Structure 1
Amino acid sequence: MEGKGEISSDSSAVMLELLHMEMVSLFSSLDHKECQSKLEQLGRRVGATMAEQMTRDIPRFKNELDVLVFVCKQFWQQAWHKPVDNLKTNHQDVYVLLDNSFKLLSKMSTSEQYKSQAALYLSFPCGLIKGALTTLGITCHVTADVTEMPSCTFQVKVTTQ
């Protein structure tokens, strides 16, 4: 039970979804690429801050896979109130995170016309992942794909410097 002045995790999830919808709406007057870029930039800043706060009191990760497992379990849980459903890797710097019922897509219609809009709604989460991974020492490129709503995959391509 929440104490006086505390917000339940259900309430915070709803607030995040509503805030996200407003961000997409605000930037949607821009051209598609610029809108995606702005949303991803915001996501990167939020993801970096979340990762810093969540990892400040834990030991450093041993390897890249440990970082990705942390993102799929604890980080995803903190952001979306559930862990990633599946993490796959080809062991050649590509990781695929699968969420079968992604929160930000779960309220959208499943018709084909909304699939094109899904890219805008996934820009912020792509930035969130990239910001967290960059903060944890992994330089990467993150993309998202929707094959069937509300399921989506996030592909993380680790880049070497």
Structure 2
Amino acid sequence: MASSQAPVKLVNESAVEFLTTEMVEAMIRTIKDDALRLSTDKDPSLGSPNDGAGGPKDYSEGDEAMEAVYYKLEMIGFRVGERLIEKISKDRLRFTDNLDVVKFVCKEVWMFLFKKQVDNLKTNHRGVYVLQDNGFRWFTRMAHDQSSAESVKKVTPYLWFPCGILRGILSNLGIASVVVAETSSLPACTFQIKIAKTA
């Protein structure tokens, strides 16, 4: 007897992790190359990206190029989050308050994305929620020194995409928010959600 249901489409989770890693790397590379090309157009003495003169500029996190990377990765994540929550929450009843939404994110959404729940949720009951993940799945396979400042700096751009995903999810559920993430000891990280006050 033939099944009347459509076959389930599955994607290997490793493929998603590799895609995410390559997306971040490609974004950083292209933004930095564009910034270097613009700077050499303004001042030819800096050399071109391929001639070795002047060498590539070492960007710190405050540079405009890294801000552009942040904006692009966060916006891609936002669009992914908006669409993703439609799939995850299609059979759920309407949420009653912001805390219910955040709890849903900590349990169901995190399980869907990272195969585990958030390790700790804290709130000040005034619109700020802190989600602690002690073994952030996208960091567990990365080579790093656990508390090295250099490792923390290198992995920070990999948090911008999931920040966008969270903001997109919350936005589609009717909650305007700001989401920031940080890490001080890998593979742990913290996501802070600030709910925007409505007038």
TM-score (norm 2): 0.74
SS of the residue aligned with 2:155?
helix
Residue of structure 2 equivalent to 1:129: 166
Residue of structure 1 equivalent to 2:4: none
Q: Tell me the amino acid that sits aligned with residue 131 of structure 1.
A: G
Q: Judging changes above 3 Å, is the alpha-carbon distance between structure 1 residues 5 and 156 closer, same or farther for their aligned structure 2 residues? A: closer
Task: Give how far 1:158 is off.
Answer: 0.5
Matched, 1:113 2:113: no
Tell me if structure 2 keeps the 8 A contact 1:47–1:128: yes
Matched, 1:37 2:74: no
Aligned mates of 1:6, 1:60 — CA distance in 2: 27
Task: Give how far 1:6 is off.
Answer: 5.4
Task: Give how far 1:56 is off.
Answer: 2.0
Q: Tell me the amino acid that sits aligned with residue 70 of structure 2.
A: Q
The list of structure 1 runs, each at least 4 consecutive aligned residues, that deviate by more than 6 angstroms after superposition, is none
Is there any run of 5+ residues in structure 1 with no aligned partner, and where? none
Tell me if structure 2 keeps the 8 A contact 1:13–1:80: no
Give aligned pairs, total: 155
Tell me if structure 2 keeps the 8 A contact 1:40–1:127: yes
Q: Tell me the amino acid that sits aligned with residue 141 of structure 1.
A: V
TM-score (norm 1): 0.91
Larger RCO (alpha carbons 8 Å, 6+ apart) = 1
Q: Which has the larger radius of gyration?
A: 2
Q: Tell me the amino acid that sits aligned with residue 17 of structure 1.
A: E
Q: Tell me the amino acid that sits aligned with residue 45 of structure 1.
A: R
Aligned mates of 2:114, 2:70 — CA distance in 1: 20
Q: Judging changes above 3 Å, is the alpha-carbon distance between structure 1 residues 113 and 65 closer, same or farther for their aligned structure 2 residues? A: same
Is there any run of 5+ residues in structure 2 with no aligned partner, and where? 1-6, 32-64
Residue of structure 2 equivalent to 1:15: 15
Tell me if structure 2 keeps the 8 A contact 1:13–1:81: no
Q: Tell me the amino acid that sits aligned with residue 23 of structure 1.
A: M
SS of the residue aligned with 1:105?
helix
Q: Tell me the amino acid that sits aligned with residue 172 of structure 2.
A: T
Deviation string, structure 1 residues 51-105 (Cα, Å, up to 9, x no partner): 1121122210011100000000001111111111111101111000000000111
Task: Give how far 1:5 is off.
Answer: 8.1
Task: Give how far 1:12 is off.
Answer: 2.4
SS of the residue aligned with 1:42?
helix
